[in-house]
A and B are shown apart, each in its own frame.
Chain A
């Protein structure tokens, strides 16, 4: 029981990070139709900038804010310099551009920061809390709580503000949105900035547990993409559920089956799900007009 609980909580913690990455994917995908493979780099930036800012003497909360701002600026630049100029290019071309951006950002981080692994102190200390025999790091609650706050905030923004509704309108039909006077370019920039902030928050929250280096973004982006797919591309709720599911699968798979193939479970499950339900778990069936 204690073992089960241990795997459950660590799975949810990792899953929460995947959920945030998948949520960032979904936001950009809905607003622009772009699958942004540089999403993992925002997570990396969140962690790395916080580490280096706090090492330079900036207090931790302020360092976290600096990291989010840096990520947002990078996100906006990515949109302005790489995505906007390629407007109208094919989906594959846009995917390659974002992969290029992720390689570029990784290369920059390796030069500006370094290639070492870095750690942040736990926000509420490092003493594990005992829950029914499972030792839980206090930082896990920060990750889960932070994720919940981001999800609720995003929901309120999308459903209850005018700007949020404009984002939803753009997602539903870009041309119609433009016709009713929505500046879709601004909306897309907003989506990139918002996604970057969400990614950076994930990176800041999880660095005390998983450490960070210049290279953590790649696998996170792949798994976040997998989570978004699992939930059905373009569905924010699906992204969150997909992320949590993926985290749980990994934790239980690593715990009960094989820890050396921890990273393989995610992709194995994705393949199986796609074979059985090609539109993801919550995706709508796409109907093709001929």
Chain B
């Protein structure tokens, strides 16, 4: 237990140092922007990893919750006069409620059937967003008002680097702690064997639902943060492709590894930026990166690398 607490502390400390040190080596504000994107994607991926890696349930429609968070902070202030920070909370609450209501029947399904059901949910949300153009601006998207906290207008890529970095730290801290609670252990039991978990008295349905709701809230907050940061939002953020990117980040980094989700986000967000000289090649590169990384890193980067070190240490 003591060792685990130390490990948790170490992970948080390293993450904090990385966030604090990176600005010293960044040559331009563009790097701050890309890094903020990594933090936001990592936050959403950590949530999804609680569902996929710990509770063992796949979701191919997770961008729906990301989109709900993003559009909540766009629509709330613009159409309903809600303060931006309250809109973020309302978005998270809406995502939680939707996940709770839909999760109950959906999470009874298994394997490919669960995949298509979550995919269907994602497509439906994305369709509503791109169709109700009176509220959402339709396929063209809509502008997002700046976040104002206690009179402080949060803007600029430098500021957002710190805000998203702090969000990621908090998100990581909660996820790491969750891992060590009875709930977290119940998730792991679910992942290893649903039947065995049930036999030892784990309320399988309830814990699956909990993981789904937690994952939805993470995605929603990440979506709100991205919308504030960009000052603009379009339906792509809620679309199927974005869901796939989130799942890829989780699997690429390593199922069940929270550090893995951060590493996965760093790879999948920065690699296309680095490799794409021309905009037209963006999809081509993304597809190629996904295929190659899944073939050669199918257990995920972090588990593969740490497994290598463990074997070295033993021999």
Q: Tell me the interface secondary structure of chain B in the complex.
A: helix
Q: Which of A86, A96, A261, A275 contacts B248 (CB 8 A)?
A: A96
**Chain B residue at smallest Cβ distance from A214:** B283
Are A103 and B286 in touch, CB under 8 angstroms? Answer: yes
**Chain A residues in 8 Å Cβ range of B60:** 95
Q: Is B89 an interface residue (CB 8 A)?
A: no
Closest residue on chain A to residue B294 by CB atoms: A97
Give every chain A residue within 8 A of B112 (Cβ-Cβ).
35, 91, 229, 233
Interface membership of A56, Cβ < 8 A: no
Taken residue by residue from 52 to 63, chain B's Cβ proximity to chain A (1 for < 8 Å, 0 otherwise) reads as 100000101000
Q: How many inter-chain contacts with C-beta < 8 Å in the A-B complex?
A: 129
Question: What separation, in Å, do the CA atoms of A108 and B280 have in the docked complex?
Answer: 9
Q: Which chain B residue shows the least CB distance to A258?
A: B131
Contacts of A186 in B (CB 8 A): none
* Chain A residues whose CB sits within 8 angstroms of the CB of B128 once the complex forms: 264
Complex alpha-carbon distance, A264 and B251, angstroms: 29
Closest to A98 in B: B291
B156 interface residue (CB < 8 Å to A): no
Contact between chains at B113 and A103 (CB < 8 Å):
no
A267 to B124 CA separation, bound complex (whole angstroms): 7
- Interface pair A288/B291, CB less than 8 Å apart: no
Determine whether the beta carbon of B115 is less than 8 Å from that of A95: yes
Pick the contact of B113: A89, A229, A263, A268 (CB < 8 A): A229
Q: Min CB distance, B135 to chain A, in Å? A: 14
Scan residues 238-289 of chain B and give those whose CB is less than 8 A from a CB of chain A.
240-241, 244, 247-248, 251, 280-289
Q: Which B residues touch A222, using CB under 8 A?
A: 119, 123, 240
Tell whether, in the assembled complex, residue A108 and residue B284 are in contact, meaning their CB atoms are under 8 Å apart.
yes
Take A100-B287, A110-B280, A271-B121 as given contacts and tell me if A86 and B113 are in contact as well, using a CB distance cutoff of 8 Å.
no
Which residues of chain A are near B119, meaning CB under 8 Å? 222, 225, 267
Q: Which of A91, A106, A264, A279 has the most CB of B within 10 A?
A: A264
Given the contacts A111-B280, A288-B195, A100 and B294 also touching, CB distance less than 8 Å: yes
Which one, B15-23, B65-73, B103-111, is touching chain A?
A: B103-111
**Distance (whole angstroms) from the CB of A118 to the closest CB of chain B:** 18
Q: Does B290 interact with chain A (Cβ within 8 Å)?
A: yes
**Chain A residue with the shortest CB-CB distance to B243:** A99
Q: Tell me the nearest residue of chain A to B108, going by C-beta.
A: A278
In the assembled complex, how far is the CB of residue B188 from the closest CB belonging to chain A, in whole angstroms?
17
Give every chain B residue within 8 A of A106 (Cβ-Cβ). Answer: 283, 287
Q: Is B307 an interface residue (CB 8 A)?
A: no
Q: Does B205 contact A (CB under 8 A)?
A: no
Chain B: CB-nearest residue to A88: B298
Quick one: closest A residue to B247, CB to CB?
A96
Report chain B residues within 8 Å CB of A86: 294-295, 298
Category for how many chain B residues contact A: 35 or more
B287 touches A274 (CB 8 A): no
* Secondary structure type dominating chain A contacts: helix
> Which residue of B is nearest A279, CB measured?
B113
Identity of the chain B residue whose Cβ is nearest the Cβ of A229 in the assembled complex: B116
Closest Cβ of chain A: how far from B121's Cβ, in Å?
7
B120 touching A103 by the CB < 8 A rule?
no
Contact of B294 among A35, A93, A108, A278 (CB under 8 A): A93
Contact B116 A225 (CB under 8 A): yes
B117 interfacial contact with A, CB 8 Å: yes
B163 interface residue, CB < 8 Å from A?
A: no
Is A85 an interface residue when CB atoms closer than 8 A count as contact? Answer: yes
Q: Which of B105, B124, B240, B288 contacts A104 (CB 8 A)?
A: B288
Residues from chain B with a CB closer than 8 A to the CB of A280 are 113
CB within 8 A of B244: which of A35, A96, A108? Answer: A96
Residue B202 interfacial (CB < 8 Å): no
B127 contacts A by Cβ under 8 Å: yes
Query: Do the beta carbons of A82 and B295 come within 8 Å of each other?
Result: yes
Contact of A271 among B108, B117, B127, B291 (CB under 8 A): B117
Q: How far is the CA of A102 from the CA of B240 in the complex (A)?
A: 12
Contact yes or no, A261 B117, CB < 8 A? no
Contacts of A153 in B (CB 8 A): none
A270 lies within 8 A of chain B by Cβ: yes
Q: Which residues of A contact B120 (CB under 8 A)?
A: 226, 267-268, 270-271
B284–A107 touching, CB < 8 Å? yes
A97 touches B284 (CB 8 A): no
Which residues in A have some Cβ–Cβ distance to B below 8 Å? 35, 82, 85-86, 89-93, 95-97, 99-108, 110-111, 218, 222, 225-226, 229, 233, 260-261, 263-264, 267-268, 270-271, 274-275, 278-280, 286, 288, 290
Apart from A100-B294, A104-B283: 18 A-B pairs, beta carbons within 8 A: A90-B298, A92-B251, A93-B298, A96-B248, A104-B284, A106-B287, A107-B283, A218-B240, A222-B119, A222-B240, A225-B119, A229-B113, A264-B123, A267-B121, A271-B106, A278-B109, A278-B110, A280-B113
What are 6 inter-chain pairs, A to B, with CB distance below 8 A?
Answer: A92-B115, A92-B247, A96-B247, A96-B251, A100-B290, A233-B112
Which residues of B come within 8 Å of A, CB atoms? 52, 58, 60, 105-106, 108-113, 115-117, 119-121, 123-124, 127-128, 131, 195, 240-241, 244, 247-248, 251, 280-291, 294-295, 298
